Chains A and B, each alone.
Chain A
Amino acid sequence: MGPIGLQHYLVLGAILFVLGVIGIVSRKNAVGILISIELMLNAANINLIAFSRYSNKPIFPTTMPEAAYMDGQVFAIFVIILAACEAAVALAIILNLFNMFGTIEVDDADTMRG
């Protein structure tokens, strides 16, 4: 085992992302699809933090040179905030879907199909 490099984290992120994609296309349950979206957001977070850890120079000059390498972590925080918002709104939509159709299988909610 050599030292852990950036590519190790990128491969891990790619695996988790692909698992999320598989979950989205294979599930018919709305909650399952939402869970898979969360998986994909997590994989993106791994990539962001790995890039911030292994970047050698800051992209933008800043007044705090020692903090210039942490931009990726800040973006990861923003991603987590967005995931929280998205989960709340999507779960509200799922509750509404359940009230209207009595199920959350996305194939059964086909009222708008042409």
Chain B
Amino acid sequence: MAQNILFYLAAVMAVATTSMVVITRNAVYAVLYLIMSLFAVALVFLSLNAPFLALVEIIVYAGAIMVLFLFVVMMLNLQGQRGDEATKRPTRRQMIVPGALALLLLILIVVSLSAGTPAATNAALSDPKLLGELLFTKHYLGVKLSGIILLIGTIGGLHIGRGGSIPSTMEKPIDDVTH
């Protein structure tokens, strides 16, 4: 029963926040809703007896990748000048919905982590130690390939994002007189 409640709450929240990611036009709001959606998906992982994956989802996805997104969105300043809005303190009315959502997520995560994972068909399913053993024995080739891919990603990101190699003629969009 606990798994039922957890799953339905998390699923409804995931679908709702993901819809908001697609609907909203503001890129900053989209990223923030995506963080909410990732938390909800982490709860779905918890209901699937995968606590390690749930925490990786929160730490790596919501913590690292989404901050990278937010950094780029804010650096590009896509919404025009919004300086006053960024420095203004939010009013109490603006705090209600995000505060309530965050509180609900916190309560759900704490409750489901402290109550133990719901009835498992196999007790070993939720053991992070076994997951690590499996990862570094049977799927060791995948670990090596992941390392290579991360290295390639780092070098590629550095090379592409380095800047300075762009010809000056390309800095402005080329006016296409033919259309």
Contact = CB atoms under 8 A, between A and B. Distances in A.
A73 B131 contact: yes
Interface string A5-49: 000110010011001101100100101101110110010011001
* Interface of A (DSSP majority class): helix
* Interface of B (DSSP majority class): helix
Interface string B17-31: 011011000010011
A108 B179 CA distance: 13
Interface residues of B, number: 70
Interface in B55-103: 56-57, 60-61, 64-65, 68-69, 72-73, 75-76, 78
Interface residues of A, number: 68
Interface in B94-131: 122, 124-125, 130-131
20 contacts: A4-B3, A16-B15, A16-B18, A19-B18, A31-B27, A39-B21, A39-B37, A52-B50, A53-B48, A53-B50, A64-B138, A78-B146, A81-B146, A82-B149, A84-B65, A84-B153, A95-B72, A95-B161, A99-B163, A102-B172
